Structures are given as structure tokens and as C-alpha cells.
Amino acid sequence: MSTAPARRETIRLTAPAEPALALQVQRPHAGALGDVVYVHGSTFGADLSIFCRFDGRSWADAMNAAGLTVWGFDFAGYGASERYRQDSALPVGRIDAAAAQLQRVVAEVRARSGGAQLNLVSHSWGAAVAARYAATCPQDVGALVLFAPITVRAADACAPTGYIPPAAACAPAHYRLTLWAQYRRFVEDVPRGRPQPLDEAHFQAWGEAFLATDPGAGKRMPPSVLTPGGPQADVQALWSGQALYDPACIAAPTLLVRGEWDTVCTGADAHQLLRALGSARKSAVTIERATHLVHLESQRGLLYNAVNTFLQRSAT
């Protein structure tokens, strides 16, 4: 069997009065265990997550090695997908719009796969979108992975600083995200005295790719990527006690996985969500010495293995 990394195909999804979406597929050299749709988080898209290669290997490559076909897409406003207009008075890309975009992607993947169920693997805010979809369209979803999911919290619960605007009601339509702000997200949760799980050389290459996703990034001082404000407004809503999805309506086998040092999805958050899930088959995994961004860190191989094992078991 070939050991060369699989090539990706890019598909442009268009629909009347809707933003065009960039959908990519990477197929395994052999095997047909099923389809995985990756749902990215609030600050970077598929190229910088599921398809991003570190030391020559990506999460998609690991899934391909397990016989899974990997589909990754960018929500509107991210990566290679169409940008929102910049004259909106309200945060763009909130969960209602995002769920509709995910539905378009799922319909395309299922049409190309003979109508078979697929698996959703999701991260952070994207896990809220995937959870809503799994709850409302259970017939489409064979298995669900919620990686570092954003969960509902009591209105008086403390939220990590620096991650979201002060309130959903005043969140901007877009905001500028600098490379320094991204770097802080990688390092601020690591306990003092513990080695960083982030490889600096990896971050330098990743950072250059991040800034390259926005042609206007270099024209701003400091360089920054214009990012939809809707996801951050959704996070603030969830952390203010507003349930944006109903975990009790999720029937698919579900894996919840998080990093040990993650303060965005804490151990308490994970425990509460796991208990609330309606799935008859549900489990949780904690990756040691890892943060909210395990998939880009030194412990990413443990994440790959946990998710692959779950998906393989769910397929049998």
C-alpha cells in the first residue's frame, strides 16, 4: 500500500443567496470504513486544523490510514470560503447560519456517498454546531466526536479571559485576530513550570499560514485576520446560560475528548455535557499535558488514536 500522503480534492459549494463554501476531501489509499466531516472552531478553518501537516503528517492522514474518507470545509468567513459583507451591524456567522452551512455540506457528502450516514468530528465552537445538527438530524449522523466542546454554563460562571468579547449583545460583526492573540491561546493554559506542548517551529509555520488566509492581513497593523464575530457571540451566549443545542436529543454514539489543561472546556463542562447526552453509547477521554488546541500540539497523536479507535468501533 502507498505510504505517500493522499491528495485532496476541492469542491466549491454554491447555493442561491448563500455564501459559497470550500469543501475538501482526502480519500484513503485503501479501505472504505466511512466518511468523516470535520467541523472547525471559531478562529481557523480546515486547512489549519484537520489537514494541517506537522512533521509530514496531518490528522486527516491518520484518519485515512484507518480507512476513513475525510471531508473538511470552511464556514463562510474562513479559509477559502466566501467572506461575509463587512457592513453588517450584527455579529455574522452565528450558529443558525453555521448549522445551515453544515447541512449543505452533509447533503453534498451524502449525495456523493450513496446516502450513507457519516461521522461528525468537531472542535470547540464547531462542536456546538455539530451537536445541534446531530440533535436535529439524527438520521444523517452515524457517530459524533465532540472535541473540546463549548458547553452551556450558568450565567454567573467564570469564563476564561481574552477568549471572547465582553457580551454577545455588543459583539462586533467581525473582529481582527492577531497572531499574538492566537499564540496566547496556545500557551496561557499551560501550568507554570510545565513544558509547552506547542512546538515553536510548528507555530511559526502555522502562523504564516494563518495570516495568509486573509489577503488583507498584512495591510493592518499589527497584521491580523478579519474573523466573523458570530461564533464568539455564541460562546458568550452559552456561557451566559443560553442553551443553543439540546444534548438530550443526540442519539448517535458520542465521544467527548478534551485536553487536561483546557479551561475553555473544563473537566466540569465535560462531565455535565456527558451526563446530558441522550446517546446510549457515550464515553469521554482526557488527553494529558494538552490544552484546548490538542490537535496542533505534541500530544496530538493521542487525540488521533482516541478518535480513530472510537470511529472504527462505531463502524462495526
Measured between alpha carbons, how far is 291 from 186 in angstroms, rounded to an integer?
7
Task: Assign domain 8-314 to a CATH class.
Answer: alpha beta
Q: Order across the sheet with 34-39: list the strands.
A: 8-15, 18-26, 68-73, 34-39, 118-123, 141-147, 254-259, 282-287
Q: Is 231 helix (H, G, I), strand (E, B) or coil?
A: helix
pLDDT digits (tens, 9 = 90+) for 200-225: 999 999 999 999 999 999 999 999 99
User: For residue 160, which of 39, 257, 75, 269 has the smallest C-alpha distance?
Assistant: 269
DSSP line for 21-71? EEEEEE--SS---EEEEEE--SS--GGGTTT--BTTB-HHHHHHHTTEEEE
Ranges of beta strands (E only) in the chain are 8-15, 18-26, 34-39, 68-73, 118-123, 141-147, 174-178, 224-228, 254-259, 282-287
- Per-residue pLDDT at 161: 44
Number of H helices, E strands in the chain: 8, 10
Write down the mean pLDDT value for the chain. Answer: 93
- Per-residue pLDDT at 157: 53
Please give the model's pTM, rounded to 2 decimal places. Answer: 0.94
- Per-residue pLDDT at 170: 62
Domains of the chain, residue spans: 8-314
In single-letter form, the type of residue at position 249 comes to C
More confident residue, 85 or 6: 85
More confident residue, 113 or 171: 113
The set of cell numbers assigned to 66 is 484507518
Task: Indicate if the pLDDT at residue 37 is higher than 50.
Answer: yes
How many whole angstroms from its chain centre is CA 14?
Answer: 22
The contacts of residue 192 (CB under 8 Å, 6+ apart) are: none
